[in-house]
Amino acid sequence: MATVDSARRESSSRLYWADTAKAIAVVLVVLYHVSPIALVWLVDGESRGEALIGEMSRALLPVRMPLFFFVSGLLAVNAFARPWRAVLQKRVINLLWVFVLWTVLYAFPYAYSAAAEDVEDILRRALLWAVNLSGAYWFLPMLVLMFVAMKLTQSVHPTIVLAAALVLRFGAGSIPVTENIFLEDVRTTAYRFCMFFIWYAAGACATSLVPSIVSLSRILWVPLIPLFGALTFVTRQPAIVADLSFALSVVGIIIVIGMAELIARSPRGRKVSRYVAMRTLPIYLLHAYMIVLLKSSGLRLPELTSVEAALLVAFMTAGMTVLSCLIWDLLRPRAPLLFRAPMVPNESPARR
């Protein structure tokens, strides 16, 4: 498997574009949770512009999470070769602590926002997400599972790991559905692992290929935009039954890497990207909590014009991203346990 040394030999520009790609990924996640999800809760009716924005956001579904996992795997390479005691706190304990804590915090406004007669059942299910690793913050335990899987397979040739990940990806749909709600959430967790592990593994195995990937993306990202649009259009046709999501993910990731490399050439672009990339965790946690609080508040807006819908989506996406960063900057020194677990006593301070 590609080693830490091969990653270290890459130029600093590699880190810049990775930061930018990570920042783009988290903003795309916020965008999707704003439109179409939040707007359905907050706005009466649906204008033509609102529907178009929601459809464009849905079109990016094959990109946002595969991109996030690809960059996460790429940036985790340094940790795979380190001993467990050096990575357990950051890569496992912290993420699981934050996942459980925020899942519990999320469960109450989520249940409260439901129909009154369903509150207890929904609250029970939402609290059990902390056990079956599902719910609003599923990405965090998924990172843990994928990190552990890659670390345990360090001695396995990358080709075998990627082949196994591809088998999981294309076999995910065969996981049986169950009527039991708890087991269905477990099935959802297994399905997500199968669907997205290939991207984390690809990032983890691709360090030696990073210069080639970036060079290829720099050349192809603009020409690939119409191809992405054409593939998306094809998938929307009722007569098309083929699953093109994998191809869309590949094309979309190349496009974003090309865009990220271009943005990373600018000192200001690098600075903003770095700022956002270092705050992906609080953005991921807090924007979802803001949305569920809005839903539980019962706030409803009248039907919007297309221009008003576009402005609202832009304002909410940018506003929640910025506000999440500001809240984190404020709370991190005052309430650190909201964002990381208590330190393991026997962990070496040099490894933290």
Give per-residue pLDDT as tens, 259-303: 999 999 999 999 999 999 999 999 999 999 999 999 988 888 998
CA neighbours closer than 13 Å in the CB half-sphere of residue 46: 13
The yes-or-no verdict on residue 24 having pLDDT over 90 is yes
Closest CA to 196 of 25, 18, 29, 68: 68
Q: 347 falls in which pLDDT band (50, 70, 90)?
A: very low
Phi/psi for 43 (5° steps) reads -120, 130
The yes-or-no verdict on residue 181 having pLDDT over 50 is yes
- Tell me the β-bridge partners of 301: 43
Give pLDDT, residue 117.
Answer: 66
Give pLDDT, residue 204.
Answer: 95
User: Which residues have CB under 8 Å from 273's CB, separation 6+?
Assistant: 16, 19, 20, 22, 23, 260, 263, 264
Characterize 121-131 residue by residue with b for buried, 16 or more Cβ atoms within 10 angstroms of its Cβ, and e for exposed. ebbebbbbbbe
Q: What is the DSSP letter of 305?
A: P
Give pLDDT, residue 207.
Answer: 82
Instruction: Give 327-351 as a DSSP string.
Output: HHHHHTTT-GGGTSPPPPTTS-GGG
Q: Which residue has the higher pLDDT, 220 or 12?
A: 220
Give pLDDT, residue 5.
Answer: 45
The yes-or-no verdict on residue 216 having pLDDT over 80 is yes
Q: 8 falls in which pLDDT band (50, 70, 90)?
A: very low
Residues recorded for the chain: 352
- Average pLDDT along the chain: 90
Residue ranges of alpha helices (H) inside 33-135 are 39-42, 48-59, 61-75, 77-80, 84-88, 94-112, 119-132
CA-CA-CA-CA torsion sign (314, 270, 77, 341): negative
Asked which of 29-33, 155-159, 210-214 is least confident by mean pLDDT, the reply is 210-214
The yes-or-no verdict on residue 350 having pLDDT over 50 is no
User: Within its chain, how far is the Cα of 350 from the centroid?
Assistant: 29
Give pLDDT, residue 239.
Answer: 77
Phi/psi for 257 (5° steps) reads -60, -40
Contact between 102 and 285 under an 8 Å Cβ cutoff? The reply is yes
Strands (E), the chain: none
The yes-or-no verdict on residue 7 having pLDDT over 70 is no
Tell me what the mean pLDDT of segment 51-60 comes to: 92
The yes-or-no verdict on residue 57 having pLDDT over 60 is yes
Distance CA 332, CA 339 (A): 7
Tell me what the mean pLDDT of segment 312-331 comes to: 96
